[in-house]
Structure 1
């Protein structure tokens, strides 16, 4: 193997793969020039350019072309689902700022916030039940999809099956007929009667792939702001009479009503592990003011990354205001949720409702909390955030539910918001 550039790439956690220049340890891209400096591209901060080349680079930056193309699309409307901040502050609050705010609390402030969390959780989160459901129509698909040599793939398949099972249990999906081999039978008539599927934060699109394989669909819209390899698109496009559109756009900027091929159609909105504010933006996109609500047939969102939630994006700020919880306390609650993945998620948390009282009664200050105590508090905060979302859905005319769709040892991010019109 030939020599490689010795420049370390922190984001990729490896050295540069290009060959170095003669008589140098670095390649041409990373050789420092005495008369020039590398600066961050003002269009796309993910890469850097030489300061002397900046002007010409800005005219041909790949992201510029994509942004220009996107801005011309009828469904692009900057910030339509972004929400508003009471303080007219458009900046997101970083995790570091959240951490600093928590550590700057006095003992009394911290204890008071813990008491608020305990009280709200006791009132609002007792009925979050476990609902791990594997529908009969998914069993053969699961056996075929799971590669037992790749444990993480097995976990994803289990999660996908339970999301579909809960949709069927909630009356959003209709179970197809099963043949003698246990495989679902799909006809063109069945597909034409099913709603279109809009997957938010679709990633590679494997949740939609499982839905199409097990239940049959006729129209699919995959919403994702990033570009991915190894997508399910190729397999989906091979299905007869299935129309697929992939829209590379941030959910914050998506006007769902302006997608021409979706207009007038009933649709099912789904999302698996929608990180932080993406869940709130999706809810606003599908159910918010001005949305053609009559076309939404059902909705299923597996929430994720509650520590990234932002006050300005959150869909139900009124819920926290009514409880006397401030914007800063909300951000502290979101920061606590990161502790839910810091400890073992087995039998210790089988009944957190009874265990919480004992543990949190002993908490005096942040520095005195054990890993288990932090995890319990983190799970409580995750429950509260999703309970507020569930209440917003219910208040907006949806027959809604909030369940734990897989055991926490499969994924600690196991909350599923589900609703039907």
Structure 2
């Protein structure tokens, strides 16, 4: 019998049962990590390797074949939707870098930033209304009449149903009447196939937003875009529907040329995404709006795929980057500089600080009026921004965070309008279902 790892597992009260590595008393999981220089894998930075082993690792990295295969696809172009940095050598800012920049402000500078955020929010964000729509077409999901083999979490179903309800309310989706309520799809002969768009779900994850859409509306062609691999996907259930054609692309939205996807040629499509993290929303907008995409290409696009509408639930604004943001000009016109934007994206993380049992907007009593020449006789470390933030009420921090999220999303909303789309920015579910409850809905002008 092969010797086993000598690492003691205190919770299980036994030794690890994995096989030993050669010339070691431990398995691969429990061998002490080398003190050498570890570097991120250049093929996929999700893992790191010893610098001395890097060249040999590149030949056997499990992501190598995937990257090779992807690079020859016609719909792949590295960084096509990434956006551009005005200054040379522009870099992404980590959350730690953003936090340090905020904590490095003077009290007066921090006060000025908060007051600027309050003023801008009051002037441009007053029209974000509640739009919690549960359409009748989604009754089979909201009433739990679906296959019990499919995962069901009420808060996710409410969000998915409301996204589709807002699309229906906005005139992008059409209900299938009684057939939709019963969970069956109309036959192709019962309606005009041209009325049924293809659906592209960005950041699809396991694909259950599309699953609800396919169950409740007569969708025939589906394209799922996701850079990661997931278990327990909706793909298996979707492929069992005879009328549905499903394609999944494992690619980063940043590198996707949607106009070059063969299955979308000559097809009107609807773009959807639930909780697209940070810059993924901006990249999706660039990917979908052909005028913006084509400026990165060497030649004009002759694609005939056509966006008819979109619904994107935004999320994780703390991950947003100035380089990727879709409407930098609008931010600058508002008086928000690159440094202000980076600070605001870090402040958005405050939005989850408080209890979201009720709507927080407007409930805070933020008062950070600090005179520029205010003299503090005590230890100055007691009065720096870091300590001021610690002493702020959770509800005040949450309100500031939500204001920053709204301003960032309004910039995206304005960008869509500038590109000829009718659009709305709404709160699609109550905050007690999800504090990440802003939804961009848009359609081509009729």
Which residue of the other structure, out of 378, 381, 384, is the alignment partner of 2:401? 378
Structure 1 contact 162–406 (Cα < 8 Å) conserved: yes
Match of 2:357 in 1: 346
CA gap of 1:163–1:95, structure 2 versus 1, over 3 A, is same
Tell me, yes or no, if structure 1 residue 304 matches structure 2 residue 327: no
Pairwise mapping of residues 278-357 of structure 1 onto structure 2 (< 5 A)? 278-287=280-289, 288-289=291-292, 290=294, 295-347=306-358, 349=360, 352-353=361-362, 355-356=363-364
Match of 1:411 in 2: 434
Which residue of the other structure, out of 256, 262, 273, is the alignment partner of 2:258? 256
- CA deviation digits over 1:272-327, x for unaligned, max 9? 00000000000011114227697111100000000000001000111110011110
Structure 1 contact 198–222 (Cα < 8 Å) conserved: yes
Tell me, yes or no, if structure 1 residue 139 matches structure 2 residue 162: no
CA gap of 1:321–1:41, structure 2 versus 1, over 3 A, is closer
Match of 2:298 in 1: none
Structure 1 contact 146–153 (Cα < 8 Å) conserved: no
Provide the C-alpha distance between the structure 1 equivalents of 2:33 and 2:271, rounded to a whole number of angstroms: 51
Structure 1 contact 338–378 (Cα < 8 Å) conserved: yes
CA gap of 1:209–1:191, structure 2 versus 1, over 3 A, is farther
Match of 1:204 in 2: 206
TM-score (normalised: structure 1): 0.88
- Alpha-carbon shift at residue 184 of structure 1 (Å): 5.2
Match of 1:64 in 2: 64
After superposing the two structures, state which structure 1 stretch, 235-244 or 335-344, moved more.
Answer: 235-244
Tell me, yes or no, if structure 1 residue 111 matches structure 2 residue 134: no
CA gap of 1:50–1:384, structure 2 versus 1, over 3 A, is closer
Query: How many residues are matched?
Result: 408
Structure 1 contact 225–248 (Cα < 8 Å) conserved: yes
Match of 1:12 in 2: none
- CA deviation digits over 1:337-378, x for unaligned, max 9? 1000111012262xx23x34xx12356543431211101101
Provide the C-alpha distance between the structure 1 equivalents of 2:180 and 2:338, rounded to a whole number of angstroms: 57
- Alpha-carbon shift at residue 31 of structure 1 (Å): 3.0
- CA deviation digits over 1:149-201, x for unaligned, max 9? x9982111110000000000000000112159754552224483301100000
Pairwise mapping of residues 84-99 of structure 1 onto structure 2 (< 5 A)? 84-99=84-99
CA gap of 1:137–1:329, structure 2 versus 1, over 3 A, is same
Q: What secondary structure, in the 3-state scheme, does the structure 1 residue paired with 2:97 have?
A: helix
TM-score (normalised: structure 2): 0.84
Match of 1:11 in 2: none
- Alpha-carbon shift at residue 249 of structure 1 (Å): 0.5
Structure 2 contact 139–181 (Cα < 8 Å) conserved: no
Provide the C-alpha distance between the structure 1 equivalents of 2:151 and 2:251, rounded to a whole number of angstroms: 31
CA gap of 1:101–1:22, structure 2 versus 1, over 3 A, is closer
Pairwise mapping of residues 202-281 of structure 1 onto structure 2 (< 5 A)? 202-281=204-283
CA gap of 1:35–1:250, structure 2 versus 1, over 3 A, is closer
Structure 1 contact 7–30 (Cα < 8 Å) conserved: no
CA gap of 1:318–1:52, structure 2 versus 1, over 3 A, is closer
**Larger helix fraction of residues:** 1
Provide the C-alpha distance between the structure 2 equivalents of 1:303 and 1:293, rounded to a whole number of angstroms: 28
Q: What secondary structure, in the 3-state scheme, does the structure 2 residue paired with 1:347 have?
A: coil
Provide the C-alpha distance between the structure 2 equivalents of 1:312 and 1:35, rounded to a whole number of angstroms: 35
Provide the C-alpha distance between the structure 2 equivalents of 1:130 and 1:256, rounded to a whole number of angstroms: 32
CA gap of 1:79–1:146, structure 2 versus 1, over 3 A, is same
Match of 2:165 in 1: 165
Provide the C-alpha distance between the structure 1 equivalents of 2:395 and 2:51, rounded to a whole number of angstroms: 49
CA gap of 1:218–1:384, structure 2 versus 1, over 3 A, is same
